[in-house]
Amino acid sequence: MKRIAIDMDEVIADFVPKHLSIFNDKFKDNITIENLKGKKLRELRPELKNEIINILTEPAFFRDLKVIKDSQEVIQELSEHYEIFITTAAMEFPTSFTEKYEWLKEHFSFLNDLNFVFCGDKSIINADFLIDDNARHFKRFNGQGILFTSPHNMNETEYVRVNNWKEVKEYFLK
């Protein structure tokens, strides 16, 4: 059975709206998702880079993220044909481990806990496919990288791209 590794943040967990909302409230700004096309928040406000990153270390930031539309249904269907792993670079924010684990248990309870992979460098993942919003994870990954559209990666053209979970389903269950 082929394996699909799936990133968490910005692929199944809707990270950007909450991050933007907290940032805008905290710094009296009004950056929109549209402003992020092709950029990360820290590129728009480099003088606040540390503060932007610190938002992600706040208690419970990752615990109540919204689920990206159709991800649960499509992943459940994919799990009937593929071995599914959720692979999150939790080592970038080690305080997020428990929150991310609890979030996965709540929203993707049909997956086995042993298929939740908390890592740093995703090149260690032994899978046929990796669905991720960050193309840097594909550089040393041995399988097929599939870029999940997110505002920051709009200008990336080097990889196969899917814009939503309906397109993921179409790609894998043609």
User: What pTM, to 2 d.p., does this model score?
Assistant: 0.95
DSSP string, 71-111: HHHHHHHHTTTSEEEEEE-GGGSGGGHHHHHHHHHHH-TTS
Per-residue pLDDT tens over the stretch 54-79 = 999 887 899 999 999 999 999 999 99
Per-residue pLDDT tens over the stretch 108-167 = 999 999 999 999 889 999 999 999 999 999 999 999 999 999 999 999 999 999 999 999
CA distances from 15 to 12, 61, 129, 140, 162 (A): 9, 9, 22, 25, 18
pLDDT at 95: 84
Whether 73 and 147 map to the same domain: the answer is: yes
Q: Which residue is catalytic, options 9, 29, 113, 132? A: 9
Whether 69 and 104 map to the same domain: the answer is: yes
Number of domains in the chain: 2
Phi, psi (degrees; rounded to nearest 5) at 156: -80, 125
Q: Which residue is catalytic, options 7, 14, 132, 133? A: 7
Whether 155 and 126 map to the same domain: the answer is: yes
Whether 29 and 68 map to the same domain: the answer is: no
Q: 29: domain range?
A: 15-55
Whether 51 and 73 map to the same domain: the answer is: no
Whether 49 and 126 map to the same domain: the answer is: no
Amino acid at 78: L
Whether 22 and 94 map to the same domain: the answer is: no
Lookup: tokens for 107: 């929203």
Per-residue pLDDT tens over the stretch 73-84 = 999 999 999 999
Give catalytic status of residue 7 as yes or no.
yes
**For residue 90, what is the domain's CATH number?**
3.40.50.1000
Structural element, H or E, at residue 166: helix 165-172
Give catalytic status of residue 128 as yes or no.
no
